Amino acid sequence: MLRQRVITALVLLAILLPALFSTSAWPFATLMLVGIGAAGWEWTRLNGAESSALVLGIALGCACAAALWAGWGGHAPAPTWWLATAVWVLGGIWALLKGTVSWPGLPRVLRSAVGLALLWTAWLAFVNAKSIGINFILSVFCLVWAADIGAYFGGRAFGRRKLAPSISPGKSWEGVWSGMAGALVLAIVWLYVERTLAVDSESLYAALLERLGGVGLALAVVCLAGMSVVGDLFESLVKRSAGAKDSSALLPGHGGVLDRIDALLPVFPIALALISL
């Protein structure tokens, strides 16, 4: 299993890195379009629409392509990010409070539509972040990864109080605090390094510091780290409601696309909403 995970990760990196560092926007946008389309297929299957999952996944990919054709790949309207933020913060927390029992009770059409809309917004946020610059998009990616790593090690070392035992038994409140602390440390280190190196764009942290000040930066980083946990838990809730361990088997050793991007889905549009202030 470990060997399979490593091989899959190396293949994904070999595909992602050239697209990410390409001077053209098209390789990364296209790669993300394929990934989000696959995630849309997984989402609709998890929510009971197996017969139309492929069609809806393709439709989601076409909706992403339409946004790119309309010129939104470089500068989407700011209200898009704030609407996504409201849905993630209010809807995500509501879903987690209600738990796995209430989610299947919602109309299947509503569950599918909300998920596909959030995936489309996430794709748009990925592409817009890439258009700002490599330094910016990497700073957002790394915030989520730092929060995840901090939560893992902090949870193992200090975890006592379960965060959401019915959704994800392994997560603890101590892990959440550790993840937030890890994201804050990353922000401080990133800002220091950014001031000493020539970069192609300002990072998320530099943008937040300029707009919100030091306290605002700290609060924003903590909130983004917290929302990465919401994204992770929300996907776990949907999988548990469907009785599934993974979103699919598309990525050998890793599960599905949703399993790899769940924490990123709320963070990217919320980050763009914050820097639009």
Q: pLDDT tens across 174-233, in order?
A: 999 999 999 999 999 999 999 999 899 999 999 999 999 999 999 999 999 999 999 999
State the sign of the Cα–Cα–Cα–Cα dihedral 11, 235, 155, 89. positive
Cα–Cα distance measured from residue 127 to residue 227, given in angstroms and rounded to the nearest whole number: 20
Q: Identify residue 215 by its one-letter amino acid code.
A: V
Which has the closest alpha carbon to 154: 173, 167, 139, 169? 173
Structure confidence at residue 271 (pLDDT): 97
Cα–Cα distance measured from residue 73 to residue 199, given in angstroms and rounded to the nearest whole number: 22
Q: Are 92 and 230 in contact (CB under 8 A)?
A: yes
Structure confidence at residue 2 (pLDDT): 66
If phi > 0 it is left, if psi is from -120 to 50 it is alpha, else beta; for residue 48 that is left
Q: Which residues contact 220 (CB under 8 A, 6 or more apart)?
A: 208, 212, 274
Mean pLDDT by 10 residues, the chain (277 residues): 80 91 91 94 90 90 90 87 96 89 89 94 96 96 96 92 90 96 97 92 96 97 97 94 90 90 96 95
Structure confidence at residue 5 (pLDDT): 81
Structure confidence at residue 136 (pLDDT): 97
Which tokens is 255 given? 């599960």
How buried is residue 200: exposed, middle or buried, by Cβ count under 10 Å (0-12/13-18/19+)? Answer: exposed
Q: Are 137 and 130 in contact (CB under 8 A)?
A: yes
182's enclosing H/E stretch is: helix 173-196
In the chain, count H helices and then E strands.
Answer: 11, 2
CA 35 to chain centre: 12
CA 207 to chain centre: 19
Q: Are 201 and 136 in contact (CB under 8 A)?
A: yes
Give the position of tokens 């957002």. Answer: 140
Which has the closest alpha carbon to 45: 55, 34, 59? 55
Backbone angles phi, psi at 213, to 5 degrees: 80, 180
Q: Are 249 and 277 in contact (CB under 8 A)?
A: no
Q: pLDDT tens across 144-158, in order?
A: 999 999 999 999 999
